[in-house]
Chains A and B, each alone.
Chain A
Amino acid sequence: MRHEDTGNTENTENTDMLTARALVKSYGGVKALDGADIRLRGGEVHALVGENGAGKSTLVRILSGTLAPDDGSVLLADEARAGGIAVVSQELSLFPDLSVRENLFPHRPPRRFGLLDRGAMDRAARPVLAELGLDVDPRTLLGELPLADQQLTEIARALLRRPRVLVLDEPTSALSAAAVDRLERVLRTLTGRGIAILYVTHFLEEVMRFAQRVTVLRDGRVTLAGVRREETGVPDLVTAMLGGTPPLPVHRTRAPAEGPPPVVLAGVCVPGRLTDVTFTVRAGEVVGVAGLQGAGHLDALAVVCGRTAVSAGRVHVGDRGLPRSLRQAVRAGVAFVPSDRKRYGLMTDRTVWENATAVSWLALGRGGVMPSRSELVRRTLDLTERLRLRGGPHDVVTRLSGGNQQKVVFAKWLATDPRIVVLDDPTRGVDVGVRAEMHRIVGELAAGGAAVLVASTDLAELTELCDRVLVFVRGRLTGEVSGGRLTEHELAAAMQAGADLRAGPRGEGPATAGG
């Protein structure tokens, strides 16, 4: 990446602090960025929006210098070069067991006689903390702070490097309404000092509230380039994000089976997560759940998978009641494809066949105490052929591509003939071809009489896969979108409904929904 000089400018207000031109970045055959431009001006909040996979994260990583573009350039104004670009990422990169003070100076803490100079640390930190309105004792352990304060600590840490460009990557995704108000004041203070802020977000209300300009990415291209807030509106932004003409809803002729539904939740409450949630999923049906982060849709999946205790209500999964553990859920016929497949889905250092038999043989005992290995491999081969997995049963999983790894996760559950299939972001990080194949498999599962529940950060996926989508807002089931209304626009609107009150039932606290 080239950081080139531009002409000297005396006034920091409203001058270009950073200019990126024609950035291109490909991963394998997939173009994450395809000629993206962006210009950040001092003293402005510039919002960057786009769907998941639109290229926002790639752009942020190129701007911050952690990723080199294949083509294009990033130009930084002279005055911005000293402080550089500070990034506050959506996953906090803080040390919960250290004090706030120690977290603020991770690289070169001020020292005296070779020991940490706490006084100097506090003197440097105090004005920054005061500016952010973060009134905490610097000796407090960071992990004891509420999430919003942890985030401000991270912003403070970034500001201590005196950057002229600050990137906030989805800073409000886990914040309460009060904390978002405070963040707004912080943004105003920072822009008042002439700092250029790039504000990456999902929430369009925030764009309209905080930002002076907005850039929209779709499929690695800029579809709306740095327009002023006054010149646009939420409908325009949605169109820019999702594409010009909304695709017609896909019509399906799936008929849910008669008989008792395999998944029933009635009046289910989970303290701080779910309030009075009632829904059923019938055999042969594909039902989506949608919501903003922390809205409770993932908690509903966790209940079905036996990962969450329920304080009130009735739950019926398979032929049994509430599963009290993952194992009970699996025995009741639940298959769970987690979003983080490396952590929860796979033994990456093992072969395909060992992974593919991990549920059917190891958990459910099909095959007995000591089946022949060739029998296990043969069963795996049937599955890998059905899934068109590229790789043999004896290949080690870590050597497969992301899409093929996800197929291994599917294979281990398909081996059990599950009655209830729970998918959390089933096509995260896989290419378009694999995505289509996954959708085909899900369709086959439903046709075979499975009840399917899907969550996805990709709204298009929900509209393509689902017969109906349940929308959650602040822990409540607030609506259902189905049939001809099942479009990304409808879903986005339903999810954002009441988002300005996004205090959440849990209020301000470090707890986040399990994912």
Chain B
Amino acid sequence: MTETDRAVDDAERAREQGGRGRRFALPSGRPWAGRLAPRWLPDELGVLVVLALLVAGIGIPYPDFLDSDNLLTTAHNSVYISLMACGMVFALAMREVDLSVGGSYAMCLVVGALLVREGVAPWSAVPLVLLTGIALGVFNALVTTLLALPSFIVTLGTLMLFRGVGLALADGKQITDLPLDDSFFTLAGGDAGGVPFALWVLLAVVAVLTVVLARTRFGARVRAIGSNPDAAEFSGIPVFRTRVQALALSGLTTACAATLALAYYGAGDPTLGQGYELQAIAACIIGGTPLAGGRGSAVGAVAGAMILSVVASGLVFFEVPINWTSFATGGVILVAVAADSALRRGGRRGR
């Protein structure tokens, strides 16, 4: 099931439930955008405005959309892409691309499911899955450096490689029969304080990675290399080590997404995550991380992923035929990117 399909399902469920949740309707999702915008001005402002307009644009004709359950479900649907996009921001900011995240996601999911099925305590399997993700990222960086190829090509290969490993390990089938009454599945796959656990994880990851990118030496190295790779080399910045770290981070956030997916679905499906890599890249770009590197924003990437998710769910409300959803999603991506860059250009002129 792709993300769009799931969003469609969830949104349909919300529609069927009718006006039940209307009393909890949020004004428009704006307070969120309003609070974040001033601090991250102007890079994330554009995308947050676009997100708010989208939510308002769907919510005004269809107030059911603003039902808090529906909004949380819509947000939850974007968590996996969001987490991958957060890691991808680091790769893009240093002029690398990690196309392998879709494959890593499936492989980490299968590894986690197998470990649990073979009797490893679910909570103990978590660090092992995360380590697997890091290892896959390091592998990407090593191959990129050793073959002196663009990471775009290398990760295009490892995308299929990792997915292939996942499929082989799982024997092409879903891994089921997991101890679903374990606290891992009930807590990490469930809600905490009325909000899906996965969203809390996402919030923490975004907060940490925003600080890492903006304030730490590693983040500054990533941006320096993306800004001018030659000058970074001539300054003695450890480019190779930073590449390993950035791609490992991308693997880590992907493994994090896989862990949460395992907890939520309670099964290991090796076919999950098809096309996630492109959605994650799209989310980053919508969120204002340029492919040319030098800059990046985890907040923007998550907002970008949310936009994709909101569009998918909004299309159901607008009763767009299912076969046109892909078309509409593509159109919205273009509009969002165009609006964001127009806003940014305007902002720059204004200053």
- A476 on the interface (CB 8 Å rule)? no
Q: Report the Cα distance A354→B225, complex, angstroms.
A: 12
Binds A, one of B91-99, B161-169, B214-222, B307-315: B214-222
- B227 on the interface (CB 8 Å rule)? yes
The answer to whether A344 and B234 touch across the interface, beta carbons within 8 angstroms, is yes
The answer to whether A368 and B217 touch across the interface, beta carbons within 8 angstroms, is yes
The answer to whether A364 and B236 touch across the interface, beta carbons within 8 angstroms, is yes
Q: Report the Cα distance A330→B294, complex, angstroms.
A: 23
From B215, B221, B234, B237, A345 is in contact (CB under 8 Å) with: B234
Q: A197 → chain B, closest Cβ, in Å?
A: 37
The answer to whether B238 and A327 touch across the interface, beta carbons within 8 angstroms, is yes
The answer to whether B236 and A329 touch across the interface, beta carbons within 8 angstroms, is yes
Closest to B241 in A: A327
Q: Report the Cα distance A186→B24, complex, angstroms.
A: 87
8 A Cβ contacts from A72-105 to B: none
- B5 on the interface (CB 8 Å rule)? no
Q: Can you name 7 A-B residue pairings with CB atoms under 8 Å? A: A326-B236, A336-B234, A347-B294, A359-B236, A359-B237, A362-B235, A363-B237
From A346, A348, A370, B215 is in contact (CB under 8 Å) with: A370
From B217, B218, B231, A347 is in contact (CB under 8 Å) with: B231
8 A Cβ contacts from B146-171 to A: none
Binding site for B on A (CB under 8 A): 326-327, 329-331, 336, 338, 343-350, 354, 357-359, 361-365, 367-371, 373, 412
Q: A329-B236, A345-B234, A412-B235 are in contact. Are A370 and B216 (CB under 8 A)?
A: yes
Q: Which residues of B contact A363 (CB under 8 A)?
A: 235-238
Q: B47 → chain A, closest Cβ, in Å?
A: 20
- B230 on the interface (CB 8 Å rule)? yes
Q: Which residues of A contact B223 (CB under 8 A)?
A: 350
The answer to whether B236 and A331 touch across the interface, beta carbons within 8 angstroms, is yes
Closest to B216 in A: A370
- B228 on the interface (CB 8 Å rule)? yes
Q: Report the Cα distance A349→B224, complex, angstroms.
A: 10
Q: Report the Cα distance A344→B218, complex, angstroms.
A: 21
Q: Which residues of B contact A331 (CB under 8 A)?
A: 236
Q: Report the Cα distance A362→B216, complex, angstroms.
A: 10
Q: Report the Cα distance A329→B237, complex, angstroms.
A: 11
Closest to B211 in A: A370
Complex A-B, nearest 5 residue pairs according to Cβ-Cβ distance, in ascending order = A330-B236, A363-B236, A347-B227, A327-B236, A344-B234
Q: Which residues of A contact B294 (CB under 8 A)?
A: 347, 349-350
Closest to B218 in A: A369
Closest to B238 in A: A327
- B191 on the interface (CB 8 Å rule)? no
Residue among A330, A345, A363, A373 having the largest count of chain B Cβ atoms under 10 Å: A363
- B9 on the interface (CB 8 Å rule)? no
Closest to B233 in A: A326
Q: Report the Cα distance A214→B231, complex, angstroms.
A: 41
8 A Cβ contacts from B188-239 to A: 215-218, 220-221, 223-224, 227-228, 230-238
How many of chain B's residues have a CB under 8 angstroms from any CB in A? 20
From A345, A365, A369, B231 is in contact (CB under 8 Å) with: A345
Q: A453 → chain B, closest Cβ, in Å?
A: 16
Q: Report the Cα distance A358→B230, complex, angstroms.
A: 13
Q: Report the Cα distance A359→B215, complex, angstroms.
A: 16
Q: A330-B235, A330-B236, A412-B235 are in contact. Are A362 and B217 (CB under 8 A)?
A: yes
The answer to whether A327 and B231 touch across the interface, beta carbons within 8 angstroms, is no
Q: B199 → chain A, closest Cβ, in Å?
A: 27
The answer to whether B237 and A358 touch across the interface, beta carbons within 8 angstroms, is yes
The answer to whether B235 and A359 touch across the interface, beta carbons within 8 angstroms, is yes
The answer to whether B237 and A362 touch across the interface, beta carbons within 8 angstroms, is yes
Q: Mark B81-111, 1 if CB is under 8 A from A, else 0.
A: 0000000000000000000000000000000
Q: A344-B231, A345-B234, A363-B238 are in contact. Are A358 and B224 (CB under 8 A)?
A: yes
Q: Which residues of B contact A368 (CB under 8 A)?
A: 217
Q: Which residues of B contact A357 (CB under 8 A)?
A: 220
Q: A329-B236, A336-B234, A363-B236 are in contact. Are A347 and B216 (CB under 8 A)?
A: no
Closest to A413 in B: B235
Q: B94 → chain A, closest Cβ, in Å?
A: 12
The answer to whether A362 and B221 touch across the interface, beta carbons within 8 angstroms, is yes
From A349, A359, A373, B227 is in contact (CB under 8 Å) with: A349
Q: Which residues of B contact A326 (CB under 8 A)?
A: 233-234, 236
Closest to A306 in B: B236
Q: A362-B217, A362-B221, A368-B217 are in contact. Are A346 and B236 (CB under 8 A)?
A: no
Closest to B220 in A: A362
Closest to A365 in B: B217
Q: Report the Cα distance A331→B224, complex, angstroms.
A: 18
The answer to whether B224 and A347 touch across the interface, beta carbons within 8 angstroms, is yes
Q: A350-B227, A361-B217 are in contact. Are A338 and B234 (CB under 8 A)?
A: yes
Q: Which residues of A contact B216 (CB under 8 A)?
A: 369-370
Q: Which residues of B contact A365 (CB under 8 A)?
A: 217
The answer to whether B217 and A369 touch across the interface, beta carbons within 8 angstroms, is yes
Q: Report the Cα distance A370→B147, complex, angstroms.
A: 33
Q: Report the Cα distance A347→B233, complex, angstroms.
A: 12
Closest to A343 in B: B230
Q: Which residues of B contact A346 (CB under 8 A)?
A: 228, 231
Q: Report the Cα distance A330→B230, complex, angstroms.
A: 15
Q: A307 → chain B, closest Cβ, in Å?
A: 9
Q: Report the Cα distance A181→B156, complex, angstroms.
A: 52
Q: Which residues of B contact A362 (CB under 8 A)?
A: 217, 220-221, 224, 232, 235, 237
The answer to whether B228 and A347 touch across the interface, beta carbons within 8 angstroms, is yes
Q: B296 → chain A, closest Cβ, in Å?
A: 13
Q: Report the Cα distance A362→B238, complex, angstroms.
A: 8
Q: Report the Cα distance A368→B237, complex, angstroms.
A: 14
Q: Which residues of A contact B237 (CB under 8 A)?
A: 327, 358-359, 362-363
Q: Which residues of A contact B217 (CB under 8 A)?
A: 361-362, 365, 367-371
Q: B42 → chain A, closest Cβ, in Å?
A: 14
Q: A199 → chain B, closest Cβ, in Å?
A: 34
Q: Report the Cα distance A345→B232, complex, angstroms.
A: 8
Residue among B218, B223, B228 having the largest count of chain A Cβ atoms under 10 Å: B228
